Amino acid sequence: MTNDHAIVVEGLHKSFGDVHALAGIDLVVPRGSVLGVLGPNGAGKTTAVKVLTTLLAPDSGRAIVDGRDVVAEAEAVRRSIGLAGQSAAVVDELSGRENLEFIGRLFHLSAAESRTRASELLESFGLTDAAERRAKTYSGGMARRLDLALSLVAHPRVLFLDEPTTGLDPRARNDMWAVIRQLVAEGTTLLLTTQYLEEADELADDIVVFDHGKVIAQGTADDLKDTIGGDVVEFTVEDKGTVATALRAVSGCGEGEPSATEEGEITVRAGRNGSAVLLEVVRRLDKSKLTVFGLGVRRPSLDDVFLALTGHKADDDDEIEGAA
Ligand SMILES: Nc1ncnc2c1ncn2[C@@H]1O[C@H](COP(=O)(O)OP(=O)(O)OP(=O)(O)O)[C@@H](O)[C@H]1O
Ligand SMILES: [Mg+2]
């Protein structure tokens, strides 16, 4: 069974003093699939990645990566994985090409092989034009792409990406997603951490949600969204006196009854049928001749998921510490 799984984690614990960074994590990642590890700051994502990539020894529990134990067979694990960590491994003073060739030599490729591999990766990451420039002159997006390229020099079978797009602008994020999708299409198993549900949604087959070192939910992106009732259609009536009329007008469009805030914002739960419910709401509003603004479908955000799962917002850290 383990053979079908690129990663198997059982009862993993890791504490730093009295902080339980990992408080009993279990997870499995089938070969060739993408697991998204979602969670707020301090949830334990990086700690898990460090244990799985042999950089940190667990206190207890077991982790198998590509069929090898990360503690007893750390050396073998290192040969089959790639890691792009949260702090980039790029050497600023070297050019993009030199960075790649340097890693090639570390992995015992010959000088010629290192050069060929560097050229391949520069090409597929759109860095050929910048190849001879020092990495410190790269933009944030270019540096991230180079960092990811560095993790791929040795053709890893299992790849770990710790928040690969945090801090990137939307375009750079899209470019990064395209590169990652290509890797997955080629059969690489991927474990990716992120704070964005949207990113996990785009890339992951399965998602686990970490909070305070524990897995508090898992499933597909759709499963997670279902836990909070799926899409919502929202709009605001111009005249607050028409709220009751508007509620009657859109009653029965979505799942359950629509609700309204004091500001006149009306929410219709749409499950997985956001667009269909939106159309029906538009028809009904048109018929009722009400004036509304801000009409649209909203996908649940990580905050919505967190709120539903834990009863607190993802960034309410103080409150959680106090309550624990
Ligand atoms: N070397 C360390 N020494 C002490 N505490 C640590 C150490 N590394 C992590 N921690 C603590 O363990 C907890 C989990 O940290 P971790 O870095 O795994 O979180 P994370 O989910 O990666 O957060 P972020 O989204 O901010 O990267 C935090 O409370 C953190 O302060
Ligand atoms: Mg982290």
pLDDT on residue 320: 40
- 134: containing domain: 2-225
Among 208, 225, 242, give the residue marking a domain's end: 225
The predicted structure's pLDDT at residue 321: 40
From 182, 208, 225, the end of a domain falls on: 225
Q: Is residue 45 part of a domain?
A: yes
Residue 308 lies in a domain: no
The whole-number pLDDT of residue 222 equals: 80
Q: Last residue of some domain: 183, 203, 225?
A: 225
How far is it, in rounded angstroms, from Cα 185 to Cα 187?
5
Tokens representing 112? 């010629």
Residue whose CB lies within 8 A of the most ligand 1 atoms, among 14, 45, 53, for a mutation test:
45
Q: Are 113 and 154 in contact (CB under 8 A)?
A: no
CATH number at residue 134: 3.40.50.300
Assess if residue 285 is contained within a domain: yes
Inside any domain, residue 310? no
Q: What's the pLDDT score for residue 267?
A: 87
Ligand 2 centre from 41 Cα, in Å?
A: 7
CA nearest to 216, candidates 44, 33, 3: 44
Is residue 115 domain-shared with residue 213, that is, in the same domain? yes
* Calpha distance 102→100 (Å, rounded): 5
- In the block, tokens 């600023």 appear at 92
DSSP string, 303-316: HHHHHHHHSS-TT-
What does the pLDDT profile of the chain (324 residues) look like in tens digits?
A: 457 899 999 999 999 999 999 999 999 999 999 999 998 889 999 999 999 999 999 999 999 999 999 999 999 999 999 999 877 788 999 999 999 999 999 888 999 999 999 999 999 888 999 999 999 999 888 898 899 899 999 889 999 999 988 878 888 888 889 888 988 998 999 999 998 888 888 899 999 999 999 999 999 888 887 776 678 899 999 999 999 999 999 999 988 888 888 888 898 888 888 889 999 999 999 999 999 999 999 877 666 676 667 666 555 544 444 333
Q: Residue of the nearest CA to atom 19 in ligand 1?
A: 42
- Nearest protein Cα to ligand 1, atom 12: 21
> Does a structural domain hold residue 152?
yes
Q: Are residues 164 and 148 in the same domain?
A: yes
The single-letter DSSP state of residue 301 is P
Q: Which of 3, 163, 190 is nearest to 81 (CA)?
A: 190
The number of the ligand 1 atom at minimal distance from the alpha carbon of 44 is: 18
Burial class of residue 142, CB neighbours in 10 A (0-12, 13-18, 19+): buried
Strand partners, 9: 27, 63
pLDDT of residue 302: 61
Which amino acid belongs to residue 88?
Answer: A
Interval between CA 66 and ligand 2 midpoint (Å): 23
Calculate how far, in angstroms, residue 130's C-alpha sits from the geometric centre of ligand 2: 29
**Do residues 150 and 28 both lie within one domain?**
yes
Q: Cα 229 to the chain's mean position, in Å?
A: 21
What are the pocket residues of ligand 1 if the criterion is a CB atom closer than 6 Å to any ligand atom? 16, 19, 21, 39, 41-47, 86, 195
**Quick one: pLDDT at residue 308?**
67
Q: Name the pTM for this structure.
A: 0.79
Do 144 and 259 lie in one domain? The reply is no
Nearest alpha carbon to residue 45 among 20, 11, 22, 14: 22
* Crossing angle (nearest 10°) for helices 111-124 and 96-106: 130
| Structural domains counted in the chain | 2
